[in-house]
A and B are shown apart, each in its own frame.
Chain A
Amino acid sequence: MKTPGIISLSNLTFSYDANLQDAISDLSLEIPAGSIAAILGPNGAGKSTLLHIILGMLAPQGGQVLLDGKNLSFYSRREMSRLVGLVPQIEHIPFEFSVMEYILLGRAPYMGILQMPSDEDYQTVSEILRTLKLTHLAHRVVLDLSGGERQMVLLARALAQQPRILLLDEPTSHLDLSNKGHILRILKDLAEQGVTVIFTTHDPYTAVLSAQYLILMRDGNILDSGPIEQVLKADKLTSTYGVPVRVVKVNGHSVILLDQTLT
């Protein structure tokens, strides 16, 4: 049986350069398995840095990241890739891979360095395509897809890793409302199945729509973190974005408004 993907960040400190100010300082947070956490902040706040630390690509100078109670450094690269999937913000694909070929790359964590995909790998990918209703795209070239379709294919590739933790870097930033809603719905479904989802966004409303946990970042610092009801406050969002922000309730849903008139 798969163990849950619990993430604990404990007194995490990270700096790109010892002479520079810490990009992240003393961050502690526990994200329970099967929940959705949003890392929220303006562009350049350091959100992707935090994502890369959880992925194991960047090593923190202080504190530790625990996955299921075990320090990240105790996992092998292959174990990590089976545990954590990543949907990058932009994937530059220079060659004309078909959707099927591209999603198959997500099976790499289950293959040896000299191995080719097996029939089971093809079956797993076909199943993911069916679940995400992408079967009709299987033989299309990824580069020819629309922005929304391409984002779904990136997500499908990460899901082919069968991860317990899914990291997404600005998954909805280039999408229209309909595609945004579609992706967030899928993330909720995944969380209900026990996958821990962490995504970065610069749009507070995207966080409100789906996340249970919120990490607020600005200029590389964590301003606050915790359950969304505690963190989603007008004053904290105002500090995060540097502009006056109001949080109002509409039909029981929080809506974030810019509290200024543009004249």
Chain B
Amino acid sequence: MPQRSRLTRLFWLLGLTLLGVLVVSIFIGRYPSPYWMSPSLLREDELARRLVLSLRLPRILTALLMGMSLSSAGAVLQMIFRNPLVEPGFLGVSQGAAFGAALSILWVGSSPIIMEISAILFALMGLMLSYFLARRMRHGSWALRLILSGIAVSALFSAGNGIMKYLADPLSQLPEITFWMLGGLWGMTWKKLLFISPFVIVGLLIVYLMRWRLNLLSLSDETAFSLGTAPARERTLLLVGAVSATAAITAVGGIVGWIGLIVPHIARRIFGANAQYTIPASMMIGGMLTVICDNIARALLPGEIPLGIITSLLGALAFLALMISPKIKMRI
């Protein structure tokens, strides 16, 4: 087991690297020329200052919150369902959130607050459906049943999303809905960030504060009960925290896959299985990776690359590397 003093050093290193990535990200972009803006320009150029303050900063902070939410939600789901292969996208959460958002765009109106609430409600519904379907299945291990029911529920919501795309006005509503499917943070403003912040921050706080308790909730019901927990109630509280953060961030950023699956694995590799350390580590690594991916999305090409494409590409490669590495042990 990694010693506590070693873990503290690792956290300092991770924290400083994250801070470095955040600062450097401010100067990455395509203004005034591709890839890099000189820091001195902030003093000299009013447009550069406004660009950084009004567009880049809220976008970088949203990317940070997005990475923190997705990866900590992934870690929570993996531990609570005792399955290292789940992530919000596998359990109907992301597709459910996108469905809720699309539904809101199409019939209720695209006011951010309504869209967020609708996204959160459908994300929770996706998770509960996956869970109850898995409980009703008769064959296979719990891990397998959960994955299968998650795939089925995601596919249902995905079909619903397809129907809504078909019904949507091609000029006004369709581009907005398509955006959910690919994921991205273009057009992020302080206003949007402020709208989602309460859900995200409260959700992240619940997960962070209950992180040691999460270890207990990854054990069997009888052991968790014998240790004085109320397993059902405490698991629900953690799930609501993790899912509301994820759903709120999905409401502004669309479906961004793989971060929630891969980051908890990386965090466990470095910090061990104890959620006391893996949760903050997942938040920091997830935040950092998403900010880096978003930097690539907005700066690599003259046009924006959807963030979901970049995270899927890097996430899938990292996942393959983890799976074939002889040092990595997966136990399902």
Q: Is B225 an interface residue (CB 8 A)?
A: yes
Would B222 and A101 count as touching, CB distance under 8 A?
Answer: no
Q: Is A55 an interface residue (CB 8 A)?
A: yes
- List, in ascending order, chain A residues with CB within 8 A of B276's CB: 116-117
A232 CB, min distance to chain B CBs, angstroms: 29
A111 to B213, CA, bound (A): 10
Would B218 and A113 count as touching, CB distance under 8 A?
Answer: no
Would B212 and A88 count as touching, CB distance under 8 A?
Answer: no
Would A101 and B274 count as touching, CB distance under 8 A?
Answer: yes
B323 CB, min distance to chain A CBs, angstroms: 16
Q: Is A85 an interface residue (CB 8 A)?
A: yes
Would B84 and A101 count as touching, CB distance under 8 A?
Answer: no
A116 to B211, CA, bound (A): 9
Would A108 and B1 count as touching, CB distance under 8 A?
Answer: no
A84 to B220, CA, bound (A): 17
Of the residues A80, A91, A95, A98, contact of B228 by C-beta under 8 Å: A80
Of the residues A91, A92, A98, A108, contact of B229 by C-beta under 8 Å: A108
Q: Is A78 an interface residue (CB 8 A)?
A: yes
B186-231 interface with A by 8 A CB criterion: 209-210, 212-213, 215-216, 218-220, 222-223, 225-230
Would A98 and B226 count as touching, CB distance under 8 A?
Answer: no
B positions within 8 Å CB-CB of A: 1, 79, 82-84, 209-210, 212-213, 215-216, 218-220, 222-223, 225-230, 234, 268, 272-274, 276, 329, 331-332
Of the residues A84, A92, A96, contact of B272 by C-beta under 8 Å: A96
Given the known inter-chain contacts A114-B210, A116-B212, A139-B1, please indicate yes or no for A101 contacting B273, CB distance below 8 A: yes
A236 to B227, CA, bound (A): 36
A142 CB, min distance to chain B CBs, angstroms: 9
- List, in ascending order, chain B residues with CB within 8 A of A117's CB: 212, 276
Given the known inter-chain contacts A109-B227, A143-B331, please indicate yes or no for A92 contacting B220, CB distance below 8 A: yes
Of the residues B216, B222, B331, contact of A105 by C-beta under 8 Å: B216
- The list of the 4 closest CB pairs from A to B, nearest first, reads A81-B228, A98-B1, A86-B226, A95-B273
Would B273 and A96 count as touching, CB distance under 8 A?
Answer: yes
Mask, A51-70, CB within 8 Å of B = 1, is: 01001110000000000000
Would B226 and A55 count as touching, CB distance under 8 A?
Answer: yes
- List, in ascending order, chain A residues with CB within 8 A of B79's CB: 95
A97 to B273, CA, bound (A): 5
A56 to B230, CA, bound (A): 12
B280 CB, min distance to chain A CBs, angstroms: 11
Q: Is A77 an interface residue (CB 8 A)?
A: yes
Would B268 and A109 count as touching, CB distance under 8 A?
Answer: no
Would A95 and B216 count as touching, CB distance under 8 A?
Answer: no
Would A95 and B219 count as touching, CB distance under 8 A?
Answer: no
Of the residues B83, B210, B226, contact of A113 by C-beta under 8 Å: B210
- List, in ascending order, chain A residues with CB within 8 A of B332's CB: 94
Would B210 and A55 count as touching, CB distance under 8 A?
Answer: no
- List, in ascending order, chain B residues with CB within 8 A of A80's CB: 228
Of the residues A86, A95, A96, A116, contact of B223 by C-beta under 8 Å: A86
A25-83 interface with B by 8 A CB criterion: 52, 55-57, 77-78, 80-82
Q: Is A225 an interface residue (CB 8 A)?
A: no
Would B1 and A52 count as touching, CB distance under 8 A?
Answer: no
- List, in ascending order, chain B residues with CB within 8 A of A108's CB: 213, 216, 227-229
